[in-house]
A = this chain, B = another copy of it.
Amino acid sequence: MARFFIAPPLPEAEITLTGENARHARVLRLKPGEEIIVCDGQGSECRCADATRVGEQAVQLAVLARQASAAESAVRVSVYIAFPKADKLEHIIQKATELGAYEIVTFPSARCIARPEEKTLAKKLERWQKIAASAAEQSGRGRIPRVRVLRSYPEAVREAAGAELGLLFYERELSHTLRAALDERPYRSVSLLTGPEGGLEEAGVALAREAGMQICTLGRRILRCETAPLCALSAVLFHAGEF
């Protein structure tokens, strides 16, 4: 079923799609009575039908039922990734959204090859948020993960440590497994922090440990900076009973 995202709150009885959404609805050539889903991007959605064309610019829909999105995980997984090269970041945003991340947060760190530029940041954030929206739509999610940029590694650690389970993945940690961390106690919010192309520095890892994060291994194979967060995210959602 086609999915459309509109800004919250969702109206009670009638929804009017405009702009990009209206164009998309026209491209789909919705049949009379055909049902679609309209989401607020925050986990609530409506089944709608009876698209009536209002001029060229808008499509009007009757709300049939309102529901919580069935495709959202009960566990909130925040993905914290050290700023990678642009194409890798876009890849991670798309895939983490499909897989079910709650939010995607990037930050500069000691060995980052690339850095977010202040000047172009607003424009880039807009682009990244669009990638997340498009992946959310395509994968049938009811929530568009927020993409955020933090100013520093310590800020990322402080935030990530605030989750019920704050986990940092480090290639030199060989024994403490993700499994051991997840099995310890039930969790509803998890943050997963992974390093840049050049790896995290020992001092940075120590900082995270002091902040209360657990330092974990993702196994004996060295994963690229764009592979590690998606591997960890898949495993956490699997462990949480999503599939």
Contact = CB atoms under 8 A, between A and B. Distances in A.
Interface of A: 70-71, 95, 98-100, 138-141, 177-179, 216-224, 227, 230-231, 234-235, 237-239, 241-243
A234 B231 CA distance: 5
A98 B223 contact: yes
B235 A238 contact: yes
Contact of A99 (B139, B227, B237, B238): B227
13 contacts: A98-B221, A98-B227, A139-B221, A141-B221, A177-B243, A179-B241, A216-B243, A218-B243, A219-B243, A230-B231, A234-B235, A238-B238, A238-B239
Contacts of A231: 99, 230, 234
Copies per assembly:
2
Contacts of A224: 98, 138-139
Nearest to A230: B230
A178 B239 CA distance: 11
A221 B140 contact: yes
Contacts of A219: 100, 237, 242-243
Contact of A221 (B99, B221, B238): B99
A147 to B, nearest CB: 18
A221 B223 CA distance: 24
Nearest to A218: B243
